[in-house]
Amino acid sequence: MKVLVVEDELKTGSYLKQGLLEAGFVVDLAANGLDGLHLALTEAYDLAVLDVMLPGIDGWQVLQGIRRAGKDMPVLFLTARDQVEDRVKGLELGADDYLVKPFAFSELLARVRSLLRRGNKTKEAEVLRAADLELDLLRRRVVRSGKRIDLTAKEFALLELLLRRQGEVLPRSLIASQVWDMNFDSDTNVIEVAIKRLRLKVDEDFELKLIKTVRGMGYVLEINE
């Protein structure tokens, strides 16, 4: 899942980005309101974390721009201590929840997951499936034939992408941008290594192999023999 963080304080921004990355999200960080709004309108996000006090256009204007464009992703905004009117204003403008600074990252993560859970009820399935493989997006759990499989955050994101686009051959460049949030660098074999590890965990012990290499093209998850 992809999260947009709009935060001008460098330290807070990178702290949020790093934490969300470690929790398995793909994260874009914008350091001002205009960049944040631009990203929100041009990329697809599952959720936005929006600081209120931003240079240029503030968090409220970003939020209004997002809602005016008809984007209904959940928005969690970050507000200063004791700004009660801020919270009311934010919720009136269409924010879904707020957090008062300073906050513990664990609290932010809990809010983010709760918002995604609420949004997901109507939007999409919470569990992605292929044959006897199940990936539970909210519990962040993978099970095959009833057996729990432990994945790293990146392996989870990779499997999620393969499952969402089941049957579709995914080029390495696409996997690199979606899962690693980087441009594909032909010198690195990070994707091959991750696919190999994922196969060991997901396919090795099972007769039906789900993850396939399409030579010269990329990878696909499909049920066909």
Q: Which residues bind Ca ion (CB under 5 A)?
A: 8, 51, 53
Nearer to Ca ion by Cβ, of 13 and 218: the residue is 13
Nearer to Ca ion by Cβ, of 55 and 167: the residue is 55
Strand, coil or helix: 220? strand
In the complex, residue closest to Ca ion by CB: 53
Tell the smallest beta-carbon distance from residue 60 to Ca ion (Å).
13
Tell the smallest beta-carbon distance from residue 9 to Ca ion (Å).
5
Task: Tell me the backbone φ, ψ of residue 135, rounded to 5 degrees.
Answer: -120, 115
Q: How far separated are the first and last CA of the chain, in Å rounded?
A: 29
Tell the smallest beta-carbon distance from residue 2 to Ca ion (Å).
22
Nearer to Ca ion by Cβ, of 11 and 215: the residue is 11
Tell the smallest beta-carbon distance from residue 189 to Ca ion (Å).
39
Query: What is the identity of the amino acid at 193?
Result: V
Nearer to Ca ion by Cβ, of 12 and 178: the residue is 12
Tokens representing residue 89 in the block: 């204003």
Nearer to Ca ion by Cβ, of 50 and 158: the residue is 50
Q: Where are the alpha helices (DSSP H) in the chain?
A: 10-22, 33-42, 59-68, 84-92, 105-123, 153-164, 172-179, 190-202
Pick left, alpha or beta for residue 6 (phi over 0 → left; psi -120 to 50 → alpha; otherwise beta).
Answer: beta
Tell the smallest beta-carbon distance from residue 113 to Ca ion (Å).
24
Query: What is the identity of the amino acid at 144?
Result: R
